[in-house]
């Protein structure tokens, strides 16, 4: 059972991180480079999951993914108690971290370089992919690592909206929760050690990526 | 082959002033001269398409790059299609690409990109630096990479923003020569922004004096400097410290000038004895001396007596107009605290000196 | 004005002194980009670890078996031959045994989703594709039934849970009657949350009926649910746990039932969810649970069965 939880956690975290990196980088680009009225509100909305309690996030997701919600309306699919819900729960709590990192990273790229690229024949997309992105890479990777670590540790909202189904939605954190009650302390210690280790590795990697530490 | 022309007519409202200028530039080097904040960079950015004026028109060789105004069809060609090369003041080399990567950047999609880039790099004499990263290059080298990169797509127009401001005089001279040669070889329309008088003289065919967003005067360099059309233009150009002297002697170490009776020592520059030359000394290089303090080094050579005519205090700078024994005037500029202990008032006698390295013989381009 | 008419000499631009033109230049090995290559960024060993993790993740992503596929049907409900059973937390050990036996007998797979009854109710109300719901209170079933989310008539009470006082193995504390709880040696007592957990409610009712609720207030440690209450007692953080018998039946230690007349029955109610796409399999499971084999197991864990004990 621990193995299954590990596999599910890896899958959920991987997919959630990919989603978060794409959406987060786009949002970071928007917030860093475009001026529009209401930008602070948009930023606050992206940051919200960081401060909302997991129960509130779980509630929002339940409404969002469940009957009568937009997801069911648009796609005809109910994601509650599915693997997809676990991915979304993890993604939502990890997103603010990526948005912050992306925004800082992109801000850190000298806009004169982007202007130079424009005079050298680059379209806006080319400017982003050939100049901004390579120069912001380190911080973006750090953001991705941090988001992945956060996604891996998601618990409260996942429990509410994806349920605790071993083999389907039971991620490692949920597994630990159950295992403690079932006195499987041996396994618990192993898993806890693994999660702690992953957390430490994440921060070491981030530290090496952060220019301030070099 | 008729000459290409760039017609610029832009108007843009800014918080501190309004930019409003009309220019026509042919295959030549036009120097855009003016103090900081006068709109020089904004003019370049408008031509390049990085900034959109409120209204006006920019036409290059018959192609409309920009047009905006009441009743007109709006055109705003994006920067990438204008055929304008831009060399930024900070060079703006891509730090994550090598010299080759930088020069090759604009040539994406060209099957012979690498070849063409290498040829350009070779032309600039930088072949053995191809694999270096920008931070491994000196200022002058970075400058040349920036120019090579800007020329990679064979633009018709080349814009340079303070290209030589961070370089030492020897390097400046060499690069100025290179730039003129480039302009000739490629029949470029070059607009160069600077606030350095020497660069203006050496580089420019014509000069446009810009102040607070408006053109004060446009003409050949010699014309503008000798016959400034207004006090305002003259102020911008710092003309007050340009004077005419005759070369007394020229050796490998130093040139001696005779300025209407005053004997001055200048650093070695190419000139011939007996030749009348225009000489420029920056106001910052005119120093007032404290009578009881020793005078060192390059300040010792050109000590003159003078009389204070007027003193102006601006922010933390003092501007002192001086009357010399030969009846001519010079302006000195220094921080307010420099001369606090001297008793300065109009009419006061002072001892001044001209820093030897600061005396520069101006060389103009032949006109016509 | 035109540029000077005296043509300048060689079109070659160079900076004398800094570079001499090589008459026969070899083709330089130009490198496009020195953007920190992966090796300089991470160092060979950590790169290996990261690659390893990525490969592991990728392998798992595509491993067969329970890996979710893009098939929309399978990602939102049970696959053919599989049912999802949402069950209240106190059923954890008994459900494990029931499910395993059922799987052996029928070859169907049972996916269990444990949680608090309230949470499970919310999930079903939000349209989760659950097949069978085992609740620890009639209220939850009624609520869903009113919304039309259950198969009408499928709801039935399949047993009654029993409240017990439990002390862990090796504990010297005596808890045989409710009065024992008032002894000074009993310092802390855990129970499930009396406001929303059925066993907690029952515990409160029992203590109130016995007239010792107020006296015991300072000793009471409410837990999130009955499983957590049990865990507090099991780890020694409290002296006595007021928990479900089904949780302690095979847990060692010693337990004493709380007299049933002191609290409202804790009815274990089940129902088949209306939105289930595996209704026949669900019926099979319910039949098993209420059949002889199921009842035998339930009884083992201390549930009181409907047709007498």
Q: Using CB atoms, which residue from C41, C42, C123 is nearest to A81?
A: C123
Lowest mean pLDDT among B203-212, B259-268, C16-25, C262-271: C16-25
pLDDT of residue B229: 67
CB–CB of C115 and A163 under 8 A? yes
Summarize pLDDT for C101-150 with one digit per residue, the tens: 999 999 899 999 988 888 889 899 988 889 999 998 888 899 999 998 99
pLDDT of residue C7: 43
CB–CB of B28 and C28 under 8 A? no
The CA distance from A169 to B358, in Å, is 78
What structural domains and CATH numbers belong to chain B? 6-240 (3.40.50.300), 242-361 (2.40.50.100)
Q: Is the model's pLDDT at C248 over the cut of 60?
A: yes
Q: How many CB pairs under 8 A join A and C?
A: 112
pLDDT of residue C252: 86
The CA distance from C51 to A155, in Å, is 27
Q: What is the mean pLDDT of residues A21-47?
A: 92
Q: Using CB atoms, which residue from B88, B152, B153 is nearest to A116?
A: B88
Report the residue of A65, A133, A165 to disrupt the C interface, i.e. the one with the largest count of C CBs within 10 Å: A165
Nearest-CA distance B241 → chain C (Å):
27
The CA distance from B259 to B264, in Å, is 7
Q: Is the model's pLDDT at C8 over the cut of 90?
A: no
Q: Using CB atoms, which residue from B129, B182, B365 is nearest to C13?
A: B182
The verdict on C209 touching A (C-beta cutoff 8 Å) is no
Which residue bears the tokens 């659950």? C130
Residues of chain B with Cβ-Cβ distance to A123 below 8 Å are: 78, 80
The verdict on A211 touching B (C-beta cutoff 8 Å) is no
CATH code, domain with A22: 1.10.3720.10
pLDDT of residue C50: 58
- The answer to whether the beta carbons of residues B241 and B360 sit under 8 Å apart is no
Residues of chain C with Cβ-Cβ distance to B29 below 8 Å are: 3
pLDDT of residue A3: 83
Q: Which of B146-155, B283-292, B343-352, C50-59 has the highest mean pLDDT?
A: B146-155
Among residues C78, C67, C110, C112, the alpha carbon closest in space to that of A10 is found at C67
pLDDT of residue B109: 86
Name the residue range of residue A44's domain. 2-213
Report the residue of B50, B65, B89 to disrupt the A interface, i.e. the one with the largest count of A CBs within 10 Å: B50
User: pLDDT category, C15, cuts 50, 70, 90?
Assistant: very low
Q: Using CB atoms, which residue from B97, B178, B184 is nearest to C3?
A: B184
Burial of C53 (0-12, 13-18, 19+ CB in 10 A): middle
Q: Using CB atoms, which residue from C36, C75, C126 is nearest to A83?
A: C75
Q: Is the model's pLDDT at C185 over the cut of 50?
A: yes
CB–CB of C49 and A201 under 8 A? yes
CB–CB of A119 and B85 under 8 A? yes
Residues of chain A with Cβ-Cβ distance to C33 below 8 Å are: 134
Arithmetic mean of pLDDT over chain C = 77
User: pLDDT category, A80, cuts 50, 70, 90?
Assistant: confident
**Minimum Cα–Cα distance from B159: chain A residue:** A119
Report the residue of A81, A152, A162 to disrupt the C interface, i.e. the one with the largest count of C CBs within 10 Å: A81
Counted domains in chain A = 1
Contacts of C170 (CB under 8 A, 6+ apart): none
The verdict on B134 touching A (C-beta cutoff 8 Å) is no
CB–CB of A77 and C35 under 8 A? no
The CA distance from A150 to C172, in Å, is 44
The verdict on A104 touching B (C-beta cutoff 8 Å) is no
CB–CB of A119 and B96 under 8 A? no
The verdict on C252 touching A (C-beta cutoff 8 Å) is no
The verdict on C112 touching A (C-beta cutoff 8 Å) is yes
Q: What is the mean pLDDT of residues B16-36?
A: 90
CB–CB of A112 and B90 under 8 A? yes
The CA distance from C71 to C86, in Å, is 23
- The answer to whether the beta carbons of residues C260 and C137 sit under 8 Å apart is no
- Percent of chain B residues past pLDDT 70, beyond the cut: 95
Nearest-CA distance C211 → chain A (Å):
32
DSSP-derived 3-state class of residue A210: coil
The verdict on C60 touching A (C-beta cutoff 8 Å) is yes
Arithmetic mean of pLDDT over chain B = 87
What subunits touch chain B, counting only 3 or more CB pairs under 8 A?
A: A, C
Q: Per this entry, what is the length of chain B?
A: 368
Among residues B229, B166, B171, B173, the alpha carbon closest in space to that of B201 is found at B173
CB–CB of C13 and B181 under 8 A? yes
Residues of chain A with Cβ-Cβ distance to C233 below 8 Å are: none
CB–CB of C122 and A7 under 8 A? no
The model scores a pTM over 0.80? no
pLDDT of residue A82: 87
pLDDT of residue A1: 66
The CA distance from C148 to C143, in Å, is 9
Residues of chain A with Cβ-Cβ distance to B45 below 8 Å are: 115
> So what's the ipTM on this one?
0.82
CB–CB of C76 and A166 under 8 A? no
**Minimum Cα–Cα distance from B122: chain C residue:** C21
* Helix axes of A133-152 and A2-33: crossing angle, nearest 10 degrees: 140
The verdict on C56 touching A (C-beta cutoff 8 Å) is yes
Q: What is the mean pLDDT of residues A112-138?
A: 94
Q: What is the mean pLDDT of residues C21-37?
A: 38
The CA distance from A151 to A90, in Å, is 5
Token pair belonging to B48 = 């390049």
Helix (H) or strand (E) holding C222: strand C220-223
DSSP secondary structure code for residue C143 in this structure = H
What structural domains and CATH numbers belong to chain C? 79-160+266-300 (3.40.190.10), 163-257 (3.40.190.10)
CB–CB of A115 and B50 under 8 A? yes
Q: Using CB atoms, which residue from A123, A130, A131 is nearest to B80?
A: A123
Q: Using CB atoms, which residue from B96, B100, B181 is nearest to C11?
A: B181
What subunits touch chain C, counting only 3 or more CB pairs under 8 A?
A: A, B
The three-point CA angle A153-A158-A164 to 5° equals 105
Arithmetic mean of pLDDT over chain A = 90
How many CB atoms are closer than 10 A to CB B119?
A: 15
pLDDT of residue B230: 65
Residues of chain B with Cβ-Cβ distance to C41 below 8 Å are: none
CB–CB of A120 and B150 under 8 A? yes
Interface of C with B (CB under 8 A): 1-4, 6-8, 10-16, 18-19, 21-22, 25, 27-35
CB–CB of C28 and B118 under 8 A? yes
Residues of chain A with Cβ-Cβ distance to B79 below 8 Å are: 115, 118-119
Residues of chain C with Cβ-Cβ distance to B171 below 8 Å are: 15
Q: Is the model's pLDDT at B1 over the cut of 80?
A: no
Q: Which of residues 256-295 of C touch A (CB under 8 A)?
A: none
**Minimum Cα–Cα distance from A134: chain B residue:** B96
The verdict on A115 touching B (C-beta cutoff 8 Å) is yes
The CA distance from A35 to A29, in Å, is 11
pLDDT of residue B93: 96
Which residue bears the tokens 């790059």? B65
CB–CB of B98 and C30 under 8 A? yes
The CA distance from B236 to A38, in Å, is 43
Residues of chain B with Cβ-Cβ distance to A112 below 8 Å are: 88, 90, 92
Q: What is the mean pLDDT of residues A124-147?
A: 93
CB–CB of A134 and B150 under 8 A? no
Among residues A148, A149, A186, A155, the alpha carbon closest in space to that of A170 is found at A155
Summarize pLDDT for B76-110 with one digit per residue, the tens: 999 999 999 999 999 999 999 999 999 999 999 88
């Amino acid at each position: 059972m621990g193995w299954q939880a590990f596999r599910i956690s890896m899958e959920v975290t991987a997919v959630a991180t990919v989603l978060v990196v794409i959406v987060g980088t786009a949002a970071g680009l928007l917030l860093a480079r475009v001026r529009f009225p209401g930008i602070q509100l948009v930023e606050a909305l992206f940051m919200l999951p960081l401060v909302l309690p997991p129960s509130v996030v779980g509630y929002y997701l339940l409404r969002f993914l469940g009957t009568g919600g937009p997801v069911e309306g648009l796609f005809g699919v109910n994601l509650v108690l599915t693997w997809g819900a676990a991915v979304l729960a993890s993604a939502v709590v990890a997103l603010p971290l990526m948005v912050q990192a992306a925004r800082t990273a992109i801000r850190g790229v000298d806009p004169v370089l982007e202007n130079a690229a424009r005079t050298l024949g680059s379209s806006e997309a080319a400017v982003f992919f050939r100049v901004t992105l390579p120069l912001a890479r380190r911080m973006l990777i750090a953001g991705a690592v941090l988001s992945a670590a956060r996604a891996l540790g998601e618990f409260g909202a996942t429990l509410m909206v994806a349920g605790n189904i071993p083999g389907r939605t039971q991620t490692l954190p949920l597994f630990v929760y159950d295992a403690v009650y079932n006195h499987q302390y041996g396994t618990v210690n192993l898993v806890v050690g693994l999660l702690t280790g992953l957390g430490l590795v994440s921060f070491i990697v981030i530290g090496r990526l952060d220019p301030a530490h070099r | 082959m008729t000459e290409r022309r760039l017609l610029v007519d832009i108007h843009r409202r800014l918080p501190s002033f309004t930019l409003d200028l009309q220019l026509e530039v042919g295959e030549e080097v036009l120097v855009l001269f003016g103090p900081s904040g006068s709109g020089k960079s904004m003019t370049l950015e408008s031509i390049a398409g990085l900034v959109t004026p409120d209204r006006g028109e920019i036409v290059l060789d018959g192609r409309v790059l920009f047009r905006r105004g009441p009743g007109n069809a709006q055109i705003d060609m994006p920067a990438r299609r204008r055929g304008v090369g831009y060399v930024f003041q900070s060079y703006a080399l891509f730090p994550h690409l090598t010299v080759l990567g930088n020069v090759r950047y604009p040539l994406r999609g060209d099957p012979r990109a690498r070849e063409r880039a290498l040829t350009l790099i070779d032309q600039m004499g930088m072949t053995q630096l191809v694999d270096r990263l920008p931070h491994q290059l000196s200022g002058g080298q970075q400058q040349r990479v920036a120019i090579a990169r800007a020329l990679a797509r064979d633009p018709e127009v080349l814009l340079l923003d303070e290209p030589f401001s961070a370089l030492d005089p020897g390097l400046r001279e060499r690069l100025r020569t290179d730039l003129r040669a480039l302009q000739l070889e490629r029949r470029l329309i070059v607009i160069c922004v600077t606030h350095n008088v020497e660069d203006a003289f050496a580089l420019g065919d014509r000069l446009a004096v810009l102040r607070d967003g408006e053109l004060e005067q446009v003409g050949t360099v010699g014309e503008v400097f000798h016959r400034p059309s207004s006090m305002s233009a003259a102020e911008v150009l710092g003309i007050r410290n340009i004077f005419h002297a005759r070369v007394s002697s020229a050796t490998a170490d130093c040139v001696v000038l005779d300025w209407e009776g005053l004997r001055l020592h200048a650093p070695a520059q190419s000139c011939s004895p007996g030749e009348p030359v225009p000489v420029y000394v920056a106001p910052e290089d005119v120093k007032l001396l404290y009578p009881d303090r020793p005078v060192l080094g390059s300040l010792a050579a050109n000590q003159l007596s003078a009389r204070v005519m007027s003193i102006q205090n601006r922010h933390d700078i003092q501007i002192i107009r001086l009357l010399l024994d030969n009846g001519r005037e010079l302006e000195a500029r220094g921080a307010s605290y420099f001369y606090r202990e001297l008793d300065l008032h109009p009419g006061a006698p002072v001892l001044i000196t001209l820093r030897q390295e600061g005396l520069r013989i101006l060389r103009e381009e032949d006109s016509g | 004005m035109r540029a000077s008419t005296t043509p300048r000499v060689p079109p070659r631009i160079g900076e004398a002194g800094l570079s001499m033109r090589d008459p026969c230049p070899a083709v330089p090995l130009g490198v496009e980009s020195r953007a920190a290559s992966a090796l300089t960024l991470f160092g060979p060993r950590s790169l290996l670890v990261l690659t390893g993790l990525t490969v592991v993740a990728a392998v798992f992503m595509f491993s067969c078996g329970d890996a979710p596929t893009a098939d929309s049907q399978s990602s939102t409900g049970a696959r053919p031959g599989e049912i999802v059973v949402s069950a209240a937390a106190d059923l954890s050990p008994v459900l494990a045994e029931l499910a395993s036996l059922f799987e052996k007998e029928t070859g169907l797979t049972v996916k269990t989703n444990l949680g608090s009854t309230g949470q499970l109710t919310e999930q079903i109300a939000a349209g989760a594709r659950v097949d069978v719901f085992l609740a620890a209170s009639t209220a939850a079933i009624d609520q869903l039934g009113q919304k039309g989310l259950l198969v009408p008539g499928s709801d039935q009470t399949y047993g009654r849970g029993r409240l017990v006082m439990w002390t862990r193995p090796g504990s010297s504390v005596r808890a045989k009657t409710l009065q024992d709880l008032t002894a000074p040696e009993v310092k802390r007592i855990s129970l499930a949350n009396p406001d929303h957990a059925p066993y907690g409610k029952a515990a409160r009712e029992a203590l109130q009926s016995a007239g010792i609720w107020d006296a015991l207030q300072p000793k009471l440690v409410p837990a999130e649910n009955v499983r957590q209450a049990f865990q507090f007692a099991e780890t020694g953080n409290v002296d006595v746990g007021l928990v479900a018998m089904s949780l302690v039946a095979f847990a060692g230690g010693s337990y004493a039932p709380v007299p049933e007349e002191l609290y409202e029955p804790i009815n274990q109610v089940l129902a088949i969810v209306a939105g289930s796409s595996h209704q026949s399999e669900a019926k099979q499971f319910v039949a098993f649970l209420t059949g002889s084999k199921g009842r035998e197991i339930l009884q083992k864990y201390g549930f009181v069965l409907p047709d007498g004990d």
